[in-house]
Amino acid sequence: MSTRRDGSLIFASSLAVKSTCKPKPKTISPFFRFQDRKDIKWGQQWKERIEESIDTATFFIPIITPRFFKSPACRTECERFRDREKKLNRSDFILPVYYVNCPILDEVEKTDDPLAKVIAGRQHTDLRELRFDLFTSPLVRKMIANMATQIVKTLNIG
């Protein structure tokens, strides 16, 4: 994720804190969620820390907004993870969350943007209609629970 503090990062932070995908005993091993704003300590080499985290991550969950496609940092991080995914002989570890309408995705067949084509080619979770709802709303809670279930299923396939 980009180091910018825009709406998508606030959402990602809220999702991580309020998600219902906490591991349960006997079902999943505990996991670490890296967030650049939270997990890079003062004085750390931020670029190395992000690259190290990408190189060891199991999933990459980009929050898709128009700014995502314009951000050099977001693009680089997604492309780096895509390379990791290929080395693992997988194609299901990038899990996009569509959060704000993106014209580039609406007309992906007309673009020469390779990242837009990668994201458009993945099944995504669509939160565009729910992004203004509270995390306590039943629809948002159900969507987050479905995302957690999909992550567990993907882990069990490998």
Could you report the per-residue pLDDT of 86-127, keeping only the tens digit for each?
Answer: 999 999 999 999 999 999 998 888 899 999 999 999 999 999
pLDDT tens per residue, range 134-157: 989 999 999 889 988 888 888 887
Residue 36: other Cβ atoms inside 10 A: 18
Domain 7-157 has CATH 3.40.50: yes
Domain boundaries, the chain: 7-157
User: How many angstroms separate the CA atoms of 13 and 49, rounded?
Assistant: 18
Please return the burial class of 65, using the count of CB atoms within 10 Å of its CB with bins 0-12, 13-18 and 19+: buried
How far apart CA 151 and CA 148 sit, in angstroms, is 5
Contacts of 34 (CB under 8 A, 6+ apart): 53, 57
Amino acid (1-letter code) at residue 130: L
pTM of the model: 0.72
